[in-house]
Amino acid sequence: MKVMLHEMSWTEAKEYFKKNDIAIFPVGSNEQHGPQNPLGTDHLIAKAVAEETAKRTGVLCLQVIPFGVSSHHRQFWGTIYVSPETFKNYVKEVCLALNYYGVRKIVIVNGHGGNLYALTEMARELREKGVFVSIFQWWPAANKLLPDLFKPEERRHATAEETSVNLALHPQIVDMNKAVDEEPRKHILQAEGITLPLDTVDYTSSGVFGKSTAASLEKGKKVFEAVVNELVKHVKLLKEAKIEDLLQKPKV
């Protein structure tokens, strides 16, 4: 059975949409991930997690959106980004196109933390329109599911955890000879409760926010399996849930 929308014909898509009101939609970014990882890390991982979940659940999966909200990485070459408004509207319009065919439950698999604010806003707007969108991010899931697999400094941007998942999924585009460990710099104004409008380059020269040399393919496989299992559970629950129970409640 096909699960990728772009591999189906329109008649096959019609058959799916007549029987199902749920879809999986991966989004990510194209941004620096240190000297050892591909720029596509965030969208490639989101795509792999989404596609594997789709295969295991029989739920339709869309193509990944590769560009996201990552202007804060732009000083590192090859980072391609769009504004939060453009990203939000693009993702929203794709969701509404799905809704035209009867889809009312959408699981967004987000591979890049910088997209979350725009996605959350969009999900709230769509709930008002009768479409329920949940957002899954693999790294907070892995942190809870496998708390002992990595140290805190190995769980940040472009460090061992992300590099390990890349090694498990596409080792041919990871160069461990270039992996570095770099402790992010503290800004002079940094203090508890303060958020600063800084870029990645303000913190790190390599793009790595901690230790990446501890990455391994085996650890990456463990993370991938754990997060896909968790997402499969969520997709099954969402599939069974009644849309009326998910939408906005009336005034009390």
Provide the binding-site residues for Zn ion, judged by CB under 5 A: 41-42
CA dist 113 → 27, 68, 83, 196 (Å): 11, 10, 14, 17
Burial 210-236, CB ≥16 within 10 A → b, else e: bbbebbebebbebbbebbbebbbeebe
Pick the closer one to Zn ion by CB: 42 or 51: 42
Pick the closer one to Zn ion by CB: 42 or 52: 42
32: its two tokens: 């620096």
Pick the closer one to Zn ion by CB: 53 or 115: 115
Contact 85, 125 (CB under 8 A): no
Contact 95, 122 (CB under 8 A): yes
Shortest distance, CB of residue 67 to Zn ion, whole angstroms? 14
Pick the closer one to Zn ion by CB: 42 or 154: 42
Shortest distance, CB of residue 11 to Zn ion, whole angstroms? 38
Shortest distance, CB of residue 72 to Zn ion, whole angstroms? 12
- As a whole number of angstroms, the distance between CA 11 and CA 13 comes to 5
Shortest distance, CB of residue 113 to Zn ion, whole angstroms? 8
